[in-house]
């Protein structure tokens, strides 16, 4: 097994050593992006936008060398001629586009970003705008996207209000850090800054509902129903439920709360799911083409999830559990988990979530949940991108590796495993309830919102991939399109029944005659069967697999014309 560090030194995400051991170029740039996020100080919705913007720049440059796909900001008539559509040009243009996007988004990390460009063998100072040069294509495509995003309402440049990404709408909290004027409204909190003092951060990005989305009809189009309000009984009931969860946390639940917390100096919730996209790329032996499309879609899904969620957060301006519980229980005895001490009876005025003391609760309103929306949207897109909800990721915590109670929790190793993307998204939502950050309603409402966002983004993204943004019908990725003809794909398509019972059949299409190799391998890359290895003419073809392998996950690998495509499928009894 190959191990890939994830969020904490004690946490490892297990990746099977499958067919393509080396990450694709898209994965390499995605990892540079996530390292910039870790080193920076952007909030969750800004990170989601940075992910979408970077991978949209890369996608647009890639589209200039594709036979069918169209870019989001560069016209189709700028597509490069067939003679220029080489792998090297595609890779170079993609790299320059992602590089320019990262420099624009993370200027403080310029030295680091330049080093990554040089490590790939590209000149970081090549600012060509020549459309006949791959570097020029990448630079031009990135400029078109970044120029558009400079005016998208995010205030990235600080030209709408002093300070990058600062609020220009005049939001002011009703409550103060030491006074609850309205128990239904958000309260800014003070907490230790790690240097002996205290900080009281304001609402991060109250203006974010005004950011231009990728696929939403409007920022408020998916706004959920109102949250529970005091003095209604449901307000009290949701607070009591958080108290109950907190008082009875076991080691597994504590680790779930920690793993998904994604606080400062991490990839944050949107970036967490981009790590999962890395996992999928390795697991499914992706080509660069497949990763470009997947990162483009997942990135825009988390961006739009952030826009829809923050619009509702600003609209409802709802209290966090810590505010509601202290309001309801001040002067009363409650049972709580106190880090480093254990289960104790304390004054309700002193109750705190199961979180590090330096980051007690995120600085923005509770309803609805950002974690749940980011996760559900990304899970929806990853499932659609791979053609299945099957995930298979897992993490392991070593004894004493927790951050809230280091050296103590967990008492024994704890492994979290997610059979499906949906299960991972659901656990992400539940983690915030274990951690005392969100109420049940905020979690569940955002899971629904996220799935709706994911659907809208996927359909619009596939419209671009298939040749036009108006093609919003529900369709599968072009490289896996069932029954696709060569003239429709301009290349290869690999399809087959999924799941497979008994014998399997796979069809593919070739634009030109040539040598074709079609194999079946297991998740460890071990050969199971060779279905075809020889010369094949242009047109549609089909190959059968008469084997009877054990139930499990397999990959059909097609190599032809210098390109590779893969199709993951599941064999069932």
**Does one domain contain both 373 and 491?**
no
**Does one domain contain both 28 and 116?**
yes
Range with the poorest average pLDDT among 2-6, 197-201, 223-227, 352-356:
2-6
Please choose, from the candidates 204, 222, 387, 183, the residue with its C-alpha nearest in 3D space to the C-alpha of residue 301: 222
Q: Are 116 and 43 in contact (CB under 8 A)?
A: no
Q: What phi-psi label fits residue 356: left (phi over 0), alpha (psi between -120 and 50 degrees) or beta?
A: beta
- In percent, the amount of the chain with pLDDT more than 90 equals 73
| Number of compact structural domains in the chain | 3
Please choose, from the candidates 290, 385, 300, 282, the residue with its C-alpha nearest in 3D space to the C-alpha of residue 55: 300
Q: How far is CA 540 from CA 252, 478, 503, 512, 560, in A?
A: 51, 15, 20, 11, 13
pLDDT digits (tens, 9 = 90+) for 212-238: 999 999 999 999 999 999 999 999 999
Q: How far is CA 144 from CA 71, 84, 141, 149, 464, in A?
A: 10, 21, 5, 9, 16
Is 9 or 302 the better-scoring residue by pLDDT?
Answer: 302
Domain boundary among 412, 430, 465: 465
Find the domain containing 447 and state its range. Answer: 191-465
Tell me the C-alpha distance between 532 and 512, whole Å: 17
Q: What is the pLDDT of residue 76?
A: 83
User: What band does 325 get if pLDDT is binned at 50, 70 and 90?
Assistant: very high
Tell whether 557 is covered by a domain.
Answer: yes
**Does one domain contain both 449 and 400?**
yes
**Does one domain contain both 350 and 208?**
yes
Q: Which of 183-192, 273-282, 463-472, 557-566 has the highest mean pLDDT?
A: 273-282
CATH code, 502: 2.60.40.1930
Tell whether 37 is covered by a domain.
Answer: yes
**Does one domain contain both 203 and 134?**
no
- Residue 340 CB coordination number (10 Å): 10
pLDDT higher than 70, residue 464: yes
pLDDT higher than 70, residue 6: no
CATH code, 258: 1.10.606.20
Nearest-10 crossing angle of helices 44-63, 268-283: 40
Tell whether 167 is covered by a domain.
Answer: no
Q: Residue 259 corresponds to which tokens in the numbers above?
A: 């793993």
Tell whether 302 is covered by a domain.
Answer: yes
Tell me the C-alpha distance between 190 and 453, whole Å: 33
Domain boundary among 120, 150, 180: 150
Q: Are 251 and 414 in contact (CB under 8 A)?
A: yes
pLDDT digits (tens, 9 = 90+) for 59-112: 999 999 999 999 999 988 899 999 999 999 999 999 999 999 999 999 999 999
Tell whether 160 is covered by a domain.
Answer: no
Please choose, from the candidates 437, 458, 494, the residue with its C-alpha nearest in 3D space to the C-alpha of residue 189: 437
DSSP conformational letter for 179: B
**Does one domain contain both 52 and 199?**
no
Q: Residue 282 corresponds to which tokens in the numbers above?
A: 């390795």
Please choose, from the candidates 300, 379, 221, 302, the residue with its C-alpha nearest in 3D space to the C-alpha of residue 45: 302
- In whole angstroms, what separates CA 203 from the centre of its chain? 23
Please choose, from the candidates 308, 301, 306, 352, the residue with its C-alpha nearest in 3D space to the C-alpha of residue 326: 352
Q: What is the pLDDT of residue 471?
A: 39
Tell me the C-alpha distance between 514 and 507, whole Å: 16
Tell whether 421 is covered by a domain.
Answer: yes
User: What band does 480 get if pLDDT is binned at 50, 70 and 90?
Assistant: very low
Is 16 or 566 the better-scoring residue by pLDDT?
Answer: 566
Q: Residue 478 corresponds to which tokens in the numbers above?
A: 């072009």
Please choose, from the candidates 441, 140, 208, the residue with its C-alpha nearest in 3D space to the C-alpha of residue 318: 441
**Does one domain contain both 249 and 108?**
no
Q: What is the pLDDT of residue 498?
A: 56
Q: How far is CA 359 from CA 176, 246, 264, 431, 478, in A?
A: 18, 17, 8, 16, 44
pLDDT digits (tens, 9 = 90+) for 388-414: 999 999 999 999 999 999 999 999 999
Q: What is the average pLDDT score of the chain?
A: 88
**Does one domain contain both 442 and 497?**
no
Tell whether 433 is covered by a domain.
Answer: yes
Domain boundary among 402, 433, 465: 465
- Residue 196 CB coordination number (10 Å): 6
**Does one domain contain both 309 and 391?**
yes
The three state secondary structure string of 106-145 is CHHHHHHHHHHHHHCCCCCCCCCCCCCCHHHHHHHHHHHH
**Does one domain contain both 362 and 239?**
yes
Say how many Å lie between the first and final Cα of the chain, rounded: 27
pLDDT higher than 70, residue 428: yes
Whole-prediction pTM: 0.81
Is 145 or 503 the better-scoring residue by pLDDT?
Answer: 145
Tell whether 471 is covered by a domain.
Answer: no
Is 516 or 150 the better-scoring residue by pLDDT?
Answer: 150
Q: How are beta strands 342-347 and 333-338 bridged, if at all?
A: antiparallel
**Does one domain contain both 197 and 132?**
no
pLDDT higher than 50, residue 417: yes
DSSP conformational letter for 176: B
Q: What phi-psi label fits residue 198: left (phi over 0), alpha (psi between -120 and 50 degrees) or beta?
A: beta
Q: Are 305 and 453 in contact (CB under 8 A)?
A: yes
* Cross-strand partners of 2: 15
The position carrying tokens 């969100």 is: 438
CATH code, 62: 1.20.144.10
**Does one domain contain both 424 and 550?**
no
pLDDT digits (tens, 9 = 90+) for 492-515: 444 555 556 666 677 777 767 888
């Amino acid at each position: 097994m190959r191990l890939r560090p994830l969020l904490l030194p004690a946490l490892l995400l297990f990746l099977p050593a499958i067919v393509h051991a080396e990450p694709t170029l898209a994965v390499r740039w995605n990892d540079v992006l996530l390292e910039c996020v870790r080193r920076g100080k952007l909030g969750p919705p800004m990170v989601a936008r940075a992910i979408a913007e970077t991978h949209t720049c890369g996608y647009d440059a890639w589209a200039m060398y594709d036979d069918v796909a169209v870019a989001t900001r560069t016209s189709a008539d700028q597509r490069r001629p067939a003679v220029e559509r080489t792998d090297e040009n595609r890779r170079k243009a993609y790299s320059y586009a992602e590089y320019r996007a990262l420099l624009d988004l993370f200027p403080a990390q310029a030295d680091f970003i330049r080093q990554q460009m040089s490590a790939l063998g590209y000149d970081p100072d090549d600012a060509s705008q020549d459309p006949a040069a791959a570097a020029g294509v990448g630079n031009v495509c990135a400029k078109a996207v970044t120029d558009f995003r400079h005016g998208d309402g995010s205030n990235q440049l600080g030209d709408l209000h002093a300070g990058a990404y600062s609020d220009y709408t005049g939001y002011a909290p009703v409550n103060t850090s030491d006074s609850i004027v309205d128990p239904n409204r958000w309260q800014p909190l003070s907490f230790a800054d790690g240097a002996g003092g205290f900080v009281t951060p304001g609402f991060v990005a109250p203006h974010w509902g005004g950011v231009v989305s990728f696929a939403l009809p409007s920022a408020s189009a998916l706004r959920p129903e109102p949250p529970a309000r005091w003095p209604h009984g449901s307000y009290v009931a949701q607070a009591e439920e958080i108290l109950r969860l907190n008082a009875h946390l076991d080691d597994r639940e504590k680790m779930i709360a920690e793993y998904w917390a994604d606080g400062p100096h991490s990839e944050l919730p949107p970036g967490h799911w981009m790590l999962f996209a890395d996992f999928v790329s390795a697991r499914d032996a992706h080509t660069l083409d497949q990763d470009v499309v997947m990162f483009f879609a997942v990135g825009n899904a988390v961006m739009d999830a952030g826009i829809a969620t923050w619009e509702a957060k600003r609209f409802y301006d709802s209290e966090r559990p810590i505010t509601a519980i202290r309001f309801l229980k001040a002067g009363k005895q409650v049972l709580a988990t106190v880090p480093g001490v254990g289960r104790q009876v304390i004054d309700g005025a002193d109750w705190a979530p199961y979180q590090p003391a330096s980051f007690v609760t995120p600085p923005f309103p509770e309803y609805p949940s950002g974690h749940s929306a980011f996760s559900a949207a990304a899970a929806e897109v990853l499932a659609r991108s791979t053609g299945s909800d099957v995930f298979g990721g897992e993490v392991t915590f070593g004894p004493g590796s927790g951050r809230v109670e280091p050296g103590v929790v967990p008492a024994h190793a704890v492994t979290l495993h997610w059979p499906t993307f949906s299960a991972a998204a659901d656990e992400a939502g539940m983690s915030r309830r274990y951690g005392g950050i969100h109420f049940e309603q905020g979690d569940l409402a955002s899971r629904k919102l996220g799935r709706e966002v994911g659907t809208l983004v996927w359909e619009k993204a596939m419209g671009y991939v298939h040749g036009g943004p108006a093609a919003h019908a529900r369709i599968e990725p072009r490289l896996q399109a069932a029954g696709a003809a060569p003239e429709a794909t301009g290349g290869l398509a690999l399809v087959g029944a999924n799941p497979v019972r008994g014998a399997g059949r796979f069809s593919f299409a070739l634009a030109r005659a040539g040598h074709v190799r079609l194999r079946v391998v297991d998740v460890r890359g071990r050969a199971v069967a060779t279905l075809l290895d020889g010369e094949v003419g242009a047109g549609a073809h089909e190959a059968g697999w008469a084997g009877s392998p054990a139930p499990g996950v397999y990959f059909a690998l097609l190599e032809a014309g210098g390109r590779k495509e893969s199709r993951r499928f599941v064999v069932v009894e």
